[in-house]
Amino acid sequence: MSSQQEFKQRDRLPARPAIAHAPTQVLFANAHPSMSHVSADFIPVFGECIRMTREVLFSKDAQPFLIAGSGTLGWDQVSANLVEPGENVLVLHSGYFGDSFAECRPVKAPIGAAVTQEEIEKALKAKKYKVLTFTHVDTSTGVLSDAKAIGETVKRVSPDTLVVLDGVCAVASEEIRMDDWGIDVVLTASQKGLGTPPGLSILVASQKAIKVTDARCTRLTTIADPASPRPRWLPVMNAYEKGSPAYFATPPVNLIYAFHASLSTITRGSVSLEERFAAHRKASARMKEAVTAMGLKQLPLDPAFAANGMTAVYYPEGFGAANTLAPLAQKGIVAAGGLHKDIKDTYFRIGHMGITVVDPSRGDMDHVIDSLKAVFGKQ
């Protein structure tokens, strides 16, 4: 009879863009004793999460949907609810995650670049699109798209087109003003800038997007599918926000507690949202200046398109994943290899978001930069 040894996680710093470091109070909240999802203790926690999610996106009346699942579930929610057979979707492609709507009309940027406003305008004028989607920060390339400019372009050229922002690697590390910028849907996940363990799909829909769903000509066929937040999930979210229990499927109670702990720090902590974004910009500039000083080339072609929550760097000559990531791991740094299928073996990625940059007293940025210097012999 075999037995499995007790799992013990080594104390390492997650410096990869896939999963950010979760603060201690968030981990403790995640270890909260499991509660009934209709208990008097849990209901206000869920309701506050819905309200605080709006605050992070600077929205007054958009509707959050907090559902068990990955960030990719958000794409299923968008396609199942907003798009009907025969309707057109325009996808702005800046990396791996632009393939989520692969069968739609893509406008592709070169690797390391973002789609320009001129290209967007040309595509919108050539054809009527129900939805335009873009990845705010593509985790595969570290490319940051200009969400404000995209919203302005769509409003000017094709005001009926819904704007859908993939914010999985952007929410809480990049500024997103949903109402002011004309963003109709933001989809994200819990494990990156929001500093919560993975497993929570977070989608926020404008009232315009909700009305489009209500006006569908074809019925939603995914009645019991979590990819269909309308009409099953909306009454649940409304009830919890108003302080009453509701049920369609059991929510991830412990993750909601963890999410609440993180959101409380993000929206009500000593560091304001504006200061939080400024801290990410400052840390990003420092990391990018450091790797440039080491003679390393970054993947984004223009610094204006470089994300603030991560840095994508080409390996220097003589280096690859084996003699970069493993030595970093030995120093307690968990970085990530390449993800874009065309160049995945030529570069690596460093995440710097959340508590890692908001609390400089931890020394996380110093540790990462010093470790990179040691690995590449630049000390």
Q: Report pLDDT digits (tens) over 14-55.
A: 787 878 888 999 999 999 899 999 999 999 999 999 999 999
* Arithmetic mean of pLDDT, 93-104: 60
* Arithmetic mean of pLDDT, 69-85: 90
pLDDT in tens, 199-248: 999 999 999 999 998 888 876 654 444 455 556 889 999 999 999 999 88
Instruction: Give the pLDDT score at 1.
Output: 44
User: Is the pLDDT confidence value at 13 over 90?
Assistant: no
Instruction: Give the pLDDT score at 224.
Output: 42
Instruction: Give the pLDDT score at 85.
Output: 86
Instruction: Give the pLDDT score at 80.
Output: 86
Cα separations in angstroms, 187 against 76, 90, 291, 323, 368: 10, 17, 31, 36, 29
CA dist., res. 250 & res. 245, Å (int)? 11
Can you say whether the dihedral through the CA atoms of 257, 262, 265, 266 is positive or negative?
negative
Spatial CB neighbours of 370, under 8 Å, sequence gap ≥ 6:
379
* Arithmetic mean of pLDDT, 288-315: 96
What pTM does this model have? 0.91
Instruction: Give the pLDDT score at 218.
Output: 77
User: Is the pLDDT confidence value at 165 over 70?
Assistant: yes
**pLDDT classification of 11: cutoffs 50, 70, 90:** low
Q: Tell me which amino acid residue 129 is.
A: Y
- Written as six digits, the tokens of 273 are 């949202």
Indicate the average pLDDT of the chain: 90
Report whether 268 belongs to an annotated binding site. Answer: no
Structural domains present in the chain: 13-19+271-375 (3.90.1150.10), 24-268 (3.40.640.10)
Instruction: Give the pLDDT score at 220.
Output: 64
Q: Which of 334, 298, 316, 335 is nearest to 141 (CA)?
A: 298
